[in-house]
Amino acid sequence: MAELGGAPADARHPTISELLEERLNGAPLLTGFSDGNIRQLASIMDGPIRVPQGQILFEEGAPGDALYFILSGSFEVLKRDAGGDTLHRLALLTAGQSIGEVSLLDSGPRSGAVRAVEDSEVMAVPIARLREQPDSPLDVDSRLKINMAYELAARLRRTNEVTVETLRSRLSEAENRVEMSRFIFRLLVGLCFYMFALGVTTALSKVVPDTSLISLPILTGFAFGVYRTVKTSPWPPSTYGFTLKNWRGNALEGIVLSIPVAVLIVLLKWIGVTFIPALQGQAVFDFARSTGLSVGEILLYGSAYCAFTPIQETIARGTQASFQLFLTSKYKTLEAILLSNMLFSATHLHVSILLALAVFPFGLYWGWIFARQGSLVGSSVSHALLGVFGLMIVGIPVF
């Protein structure tokens, strides 16, 4: 018996004609064959050929130079998805069935790969030898059947491509559903955690003048949820903005895009101190004087704010990226920005309602920057600059 690619078996084994009669008697392609047809086919066949488990009989794209009949064992037909390395099983073929029959009809490359599921044996019919056999005249009926076979072969190749694309799409949908369930679970856990924290903050506000320190455990909890989402996600970290690609350009763009917003902040503060009685008499640029903090304390708070800004952006934009992956509408980017910033704004309620309301429009702007760049760099830079500028230099009264 020959190995894959080896020589035919020696004379001590049954002849090829005997193998065809004994083990391929019910093969669909041999239906109606006379004894003469069997002898003629046996004269050009190679084998038996042993194919060990896991061995590739032929690769996708290889020349279609032979037709195979399975004597024993089984084979799986595999198709690689377009532009990827994932193999999808299209069919399982067992003893008595044929492999690579499309090569009988055209000279195109193999439309899929074939791999042995278990130790198997096949007989090979080289197409070149088959075509050397003398042809007999065909009647109209036979010619129509052959032409129909050619057409079916072409359709089969196209069907294989569509089938793999459908399998790939369904696999992607299944992965999305699994990831969505994880995301929703963590989001609900985070919201419950925040509601408990909000209750604690309300109780503490009666005895502690400043409850902003509660932000630290809240941010830590939400950041951990985003970390787990990114770590277990089938998508790369860059999907959630964790990339340094073009970081200099993104950082510079974040600075430039912050300038018109900074001007708007100054304009709003000027309108407030000019027309709102409660704010009249305040300077447009407060430089944190109204807080009563020393210069050292101002620098410390400013540095801490900038340090925590990437964490805040990780939470908000990680949530935004997750929504954008799962939403399917035409405006999913806009919807993702809105949803993520509604949640992000709500997480500031423990500080003050004014801060939660003020954060929302800025979050929309930073969400747009993130969607534009696909990176956390630009939105984090803008967030840090505008936060320090608005809260400490201009002194927007949101607490």
Tell me: the pLDDT tens digits for 270-311?
A: 998 999 888 888 888 888 777 777 788 888 888 888 988 998
- Give the containing element (helix H, strand E) for 356: helix 353-373
Radius of gyration of the chain (CA): 35
Q: Look up the pTM and report it.
A: 0.59
Q: Over 60: is that where the pLDDT of 339 sits?
A: yes
Q: Over 80: is that where the pLDDT of 125 sits?
A: yes
Give pLDDT tens digits for 141-153.
555 555 556 656 6
Quote the pLDDT of residue 80.
80
* CA distances in angstroms from 323 to 125, 166, 184, 208, 338, listed in the order given: 55, 24, 10, 37, 10
Quote the pLDDT of residue 112.
85
Q: Over 80: is that where the pLDDT of 336 sits?
A: yes
pLDDT band at 332 (very low <50, low <70, confident <90, very high): very high
- Whole-number percent of the chain with pLDDT over 90: 28
At 90, give phi and psi (nearest 5°).
-100, -30
Quote the pLDDT of residue 76.
93
Mean pLDDT of 371-378: 95
Q: Over 60: is that where the pLDDT of 29 sits?
A: yes
* CA distances in angstroms from 15 to 21, 22, 32, 98, 185, listed in the order given: 10, 11, 21, 19, 65
- Whole-number percent of the chain with pLDDT over 70: 81
Mean pLDDT of 169-198: 76
Quote the pLDDT of residue 135.
63
Quote the pLDDT of residue 312.
86
Query: Helix %, strand %, coil % for the chain, to 5?
Result: 60, 10, 30
pLDDT band at 206 (very low <50, low <70, confident <90, very high): low
Q: Over 50: is that where the pLDDT of 6 sits?
A: no
Mean pLDDT of 46-67: 91
Q: Over 70: is that where the pLDDT of 202 sits?
A: no
Compute the mean pLDDT over every residue in the chain, rounded to the nearest whole number.
81
